[in-house]
Homo-oligomer: A and B are copies of this chain.
Amino acid sequence: MPTPVAKNSHAELSSALRPALLRVTRMLRNQRADQSLTLTHLSALAALRLNGPMSAGELASFEKVQPPSMTKILATLEGRGLVRRDVHPSDRRQAIIALTPQGDSLLDSERRSRDAWLNKRMAVLTDEERGVLAAAIPVLVKLADQQ
């Protein structure tokens, strides 16, 4: 039986949520070994696919990292030809980042490979449990976007 969590206690929810998220995220990062992209880089590409081209600052904010961290992530992605950097038409300070066709296609193949790995682990869950995870995603996103 997994850890029980009282639904009417914020404090207990917060305390239980942190280590659960930390551990499952470690599990996801640990897949990296056999992948060509780290979770960090994959997530940045996915953000560009989801939102379309955006400035480096917007991407940093969306990904919940500081601007210098995004600079480094983008240097790697650009070096591999996965993203393109265009100057904003009316504000030359801004770098508008877009997926290249190579980035788009690597995102697809990386997702297929990672999904196959994760789906295998998801197979132990019931349909109801997978439904709970699916329902949790927009809530996690809303929470991450706080502040």
Contacts and interface: CB of A to CB of B under 8 A. Distances in A.
Interface in A108-144: 111-112, 114-115, 118-119, 121-122, 124-125, 129-144
A42 interface: yes
A13 interface: yes
B7 A138 contact: no
Contacts of A4: 138
Interface stretch (A19-27, A71-79, A83-91, A96-104): A19-27
Interface residues of A, number: 64
B10 A115 contact: yes
A34 to B, nearest CB: 13
A65 B4 CA distance: 23
